[in-house]
Structure 1
Amino acid sequence: MTRLLVAGVGNIFLGDDAFGPEVIRALEQRPLPPEAHVRDYGIRGMDLAYELLDGWPVAVLVDAATRGERPGTLTLVEPELPVGRPAAPPEAHGMDPAKVLALAAHLGEDALPRVLVLACEPGELPRGDEDIAPGLSAPVRDAVGRAVAALHVMVPALLADPLVTPALDRPEESAGPVAAGRPPTAATGAEDR
């Protein structure tokens, strides 16, 4: 039986960075199939790194990520996974998905699952380490429902075939829907959360 992980990541006190946790909370009202393990990891990067080593064929991370689109635009990204163990242990703190993937590769001898990132372009993120900005901006708040709808399309397709990439609209065609990802950058999320 195929199963998959849906992981919300982000800091609820840093404005639009709370997108991932808000999507996971919205899924409580509209649950995914039982084969999908849905969990909010918040800023617990170490916990997520260990979870990724638990034999999942595929994991979908839900996160806010700056990709140069209009705020609230959703994109689907498949980041390149680290190959082999890095010479030095990666940073174990924070929740940058690229750093979490590097940490998971360092911790486990087993292959990482296929990882997809359902990313939302943030509109407002705090600028300093001390800034606290609870609550989502209007465009990102509107994107939460679209992300839930996108997951309800993606998850059944991935459960049927973990190697499929669900066909999604491009951002140039519409302001709101999920867009197929461009080649990923080195980091798919905010630098440190």
Structure 2
Amino acid sequence: MSDPQNTPQHPDTLQGAPSPEEIEAAQFANEADALTAAQAEVAALQARNAELSDQFLRAQADVQNARRRADEEVSKGRKFAIESFAESLLPVLDSLEAGLALPGATAEQLREGTEATLRQLKSALERNKVIEIAPPAGARFDPHQHQAISVVPAPGQEPNTIANVLQKGYTIAERVLRPALVTVSAPN
């Protein structure tokens, strides 16, 4: 027979070692803790998702409101853009009506009134960025601002320069409203 003291013992049977039931209970407890932690993380992620979804919906509503307000401003801008221009022309209209209302006006008085009214009109146009295009004779022809009606011989003048202005042109805010009608000098 063998000596019980000399017989090696199985490691599970060592004193103080956990039993299989204890190991299984510890594994179950670890899994339960992991499940609880995962459920808490899922709940936190769901709350964050709901918060982000709410922020997104609010931001989307803000963008739609801003777009609507911008569209309204553009619509009002188009509708009332001419308002200041019309206001600046009203004194010109008043002057013309006052001149026509004088029953016994002399030709000299009518001329003076017409010249004053023309100055008012030019001033009103300039305040609204309507600038005349009236190039001097000899200026270089610019197809962006001038429209050539004909080519004429112009001795002593460089070719392709303005010989005469038939009708002034106008720009509005540096954009051609109407080109100046001109005759252009012919090549020699």
If the length of structure 2 is used for normalisation, what is the TM-score? 0.17
Structure having greater relative contact order (Cα 8 Å, sep ≥ 6): 1
Structure number with larger C-alpha Rg: 2
Q: Which has the higher helix share?
A: 2
